[in-house]
Amino acid sequence: MPTGKLYSISDIHLDFPGNRAAWSQLTPHPGDGLILCGDVGDSTEHLRSALSRATSCFDTVWWCPGNHELYTMPNQSGTTGVRGEKKYQEYVEIAREYNVLTPEDEFVVWDGEGGPVVVAPIFTLYDYSFRPDDVSLEGAVPWARQKGTEGTDEFLLYPDPYPSRQAWCEVLVQRFETKLEAVRVQFPSLPLVIANHWPLREDLVTLKLIPRFSLWCGTKSTHDWHRRFNAKVVISGHLHIRRTDWKDGCRFEEVSLGYPRQWKKCAEMDMGVNELLREILPGPQIPKTEEVATRWRYYG
């Protein structure tokens, strides 16, 4: 394992030419590790491109899926390809071709700066539970549509072989809950770095322009996982709103790059993916006060 620093980035969306050009400028980080926290793109070609560059620059690379990796695009005839769980497993196998660690591999110990910690990439999806108490599950998507909000997932993310996305989410939550419990037994004295594309907590989903998009942003089932599993850092993406928060002494990092228009101001300041990589470890010291304001990471 490397002995350097641990970094993370998500939502590099290589389907955009500007993001592909930016990713091609990723510079070597000898001895360092990188966690790709989902939404590298919409195709296997995008994943290969992302992993090829990442593994050429970092000693160890982890990847966990976002919703865009799970999209099944219709072809010109209107038929679709691999869907749901099989789509996910297809991406896992591609990652393994590059010796990239995935949620399906054993969690490993990071002995670099800020360690030792167990790095735990997971995959939970969402179950529409990030909604007001007076909105039912059945009424959740119609509630979002009332404000002109509807996730593209409703059309491109298939849950096969499960009957619904929330059913798939339930299976995933149980699977990774068990895996995290096992690693706590295996390494009782080591904290975890948990990486998941979707935020683990609803109170970290701040969407001022599209608040009802919260439906597609996680599950309440993971709200206390940072405490239950002794997390030192929890990493997520998905929101395209970079931020750092502290809860119960645990640091939460939203590490999205986002679409080109969302980091345009950074580009105008000559900041690219190298500057927008988030340092996970060693990272900052735990604040001495319990109440710490959100740090909005507009410029990295």
Q: Determine the average pLDDT of the residues in 36-60.
A: 98
As a whole-number percent, the residues of the chain with pLDDT over 70 amount to 98
Regarding pTM above 0.85, the answer is yes
Residue 237 has a CB neighbour count (10 Å cut-off) of 29
Above 70 in pLDDT, residue 2? no
Tokens representing residue 14 in the block: 């290589």
Q: Determine the average pLDDT of the residues in 25-50.
A: 98
Q: What are phi and psi of 253, to 5 degrees?
A: -120, 120
- Tell me the C-alpha distance between 276 and 169, whole Å: 30
Above 60 in pLDDT, residue 77? no
Q: What is the DSSP string of 40-81?
A: S-SSHHHHHHHHHHHHHHEEEEEE---TGGGB----TTS---
Above 80 in pLDDT, residue 137? yes
pLDDT of res. 79 = 53
**Could you tell me which residues come within 8 angstroms of residue 87 by beta carbon, excluding any fewer than 6 positions away?**
69, 70, 72, 158
Q: Find out whether 69 and 40 touch, Cβ atoms under 8 Å.
A: yes
Tokens representing residue 199 in the block: 């935020």
**Residue ranges of E strands in the chain:** 6-9, 29-36, 58-63, 108-110, 117-121, 192-195, 231-236, 243-247, 250-254, 278-281, 295-296
pLDDT of res. 81 = 79
Q: Find out whether 205 and 214 touch, Cβ atoms under 8 Å.
A: yes
Query: Which pLDDT band holds residue 80 (cuts at 50, 70, 90)?
Result: low
Q: Find out whether 109 and 69 touch, Cβ atoms under 8 Å.
A: no
From the list 110, 287, 284, the residue with the least C-alpha distance to 190 is: 110
CA distances from 60 to 8, 57, 113, 160, 261 (A): 12, 9, 14, 31, 30
Which position has the token pair 């037994």?
Answer: 185
Q: Determine the average pLDDT of the residues in 117-140.
A: 98
Residue 24 has a CB neighbour count (10 Å cut-off) of 12
The β-bridge relationship of strands 278-281 and 6-9 is antiparallel
